[in-house]
A = this chain, B = another copy of it.
């Protein structure tokens, strides 16, 4: 692989960078972000941080972004809405999308999307059903950005996670990444593992309670990509050797019984003492919200990157909104 981190000044950038995206630019699945496209997005995100420091931009003034949420996800919604605002776009927002669609009056998702596409230049969509974002993208004349479709995909989360590694460590290549927590149910850890396969000589360590170990499909995917992976039950053993420790929450709501939950909970808790064993140039990540996986005592450590990671989410979403609204929406 010979990809470099393109210094594209997109939209004035090289034609080949533009050729990586199609029209309209739908963001449906993490898997559509091959390394060249990822590098375009990351370069854009870098610029977006500068835009925010300068007090925002009017690049998307007059554009309307619809946040169409069929279930509440306030954190994700606010991140997208702040991203739109920082670029000068307006937002039309709902967390009650269910109330005017299929569920209540029998309208199909397709009809809802076609209607909203008449008002908005981009639709950021959250839905409880796997595949709904892809369904939407098939009928929409404007960009669909998937902000999570049930247990399916949440590509902007995967992008912001990968971007955070890239930004904090300068590269993703040759990094050793520990994924810790509920790896069976956690969508973010699964997506990140797959996205890491785009990079060279990455190594992955899965650290999970027995009941919620990483599923075989992801392991097979890594094997097929030639990515080295291993499993461990001992976080302390793994830490000294890792560049990235990606902690995740044990999600109570995913367990069949309270006993099963209790058997998994509290097994892996990162403390300042444990962080003391980590490398100087390593980082700790977490998709948030956290419960007790990382003690507050870790927050002051400069290697604790989780709040910077959340902020990177805004930059990534600004980059995607720019690509969706400015470059790739046909102005009809």
Which positions in A face B, CB cutoff 8 Å? 53, 55-58, 61-64, 66, 72-75, 77-79, 81-82, 85-86, 88, 90-97, 99-101, 105-108, 110-112, 114-116, 118-120, 249, 288-292, 296, 307-308, 310-311, 314, 331-332
Q: Report how far A286 CA is from B309 CA in the complex, Å.
A: 46
Chain B residue with minimal CB distance to A308? B118
Whether B56 pairs with A62 at a CB distance below 8 angstroms is yes
Q: Which of B73, B82, B107, B289 contacts A106 (CB 8 A)?
A: B289
Bound-state CA distance A262–B268 (Å) is: 57
Assembly CA distance A90 to B60 (angstroms): 13
Name the residue of chain B whose CB is nearest to the CB of A317.
Answer: B119
User: Which B-chain residue is minimally distant from A65 (CB atoms)?
Assistant: B85
* Interface-centre pick from A91, A97, A110 (highest chain B CB count, 10 A): A91
Whole-angstrom CA separation of A68 from B51 in the bound complex = 24
**Closest chain B residue to A61 by CB distance?**
B56
A-B interface, 7 closest residue pairs, ranked by CB to CB distance from nearest: A56-B62, A85-B90, A107-B289, A118-B311, A82-B119, A106-B291, A74-B100
- C-alpha gap A101/B73 in the complex (Å): 11
Determine if B55 and A310 form an interchain contact, defined as CB atoms under 8 angstroms apart. Answer: no
Nearest Cβ on chain B to A282's Cβ, whole angstroms = 21
B100 touches A72 (CB 8 A): yes
11 A–B contacts, CB within 8 A, in A order:
A55-B61, A64-B86, A66-B78, A73-B100, A74-B94, A78-B119, A79-B119, A106-B292, A108-B296, A114-B307, A115-B307
Nearest CB on B from A108, distance (A): 8
Does the CB pair A62–B86 fall under 8 Å? yes
Asked if A116 and B62 make an inter-chain contact with CB atoms under 8 angstroms apart, the answer reads no
Chain B residues, CB < 8 A from A288: 107, 111, 115
Q: How far is the CA of A58 from the CA of B56 in the complex (A)?
A: 13
* Cβ A82 vs Cβ B64 within 8 A: yes
Is there an interface contact between A291 and B81, defined as CB atoms closer than 8 Å? no
Q: A85–B72 contact, CB under 8 A? A: no
Known: A53-B332, A72-B96, A107-B288. 20 other contacts (CB 8 A): A55-B62, A56-B61, A57-B62, A62-B86, A64-B82, A66-B78, A66-B82, A73-B100, A82-B92, A85-B91, A93-B93, A100-B289, A105-B249, A106-B289, A108-B296, A110-B296, A111-B288, A118-B307, A118-B310, A118-B314
Kindly list chain B residues whose C-beta atoms are within 8 Å of the C-beta of A331.
53, 55
Say which residue of B56, B66, B289, B308 sits within 8 Å of A111 (CB atoms): B289
Query: In the complex, which residue of chain B has the Cβ closest to the Cβ of A251?
Result: B105
| Inter-chain contacts of A296 with B (CB < 8 A) | 108, 110
Assess whether A101 is in contact with B64, with CB atoms less than 8 Å apart. no
When distances are taken between beta carbons in the complex, the residues of chain B under 8 Å from A78 are 66, 92, 94, 116, 119
Given contacts A56-B62, A107-B291, contact A74 B86 (CB under 8 A): no
Asked if A75 and B115 sit within 8 Å, CB to CB, the answer is yes
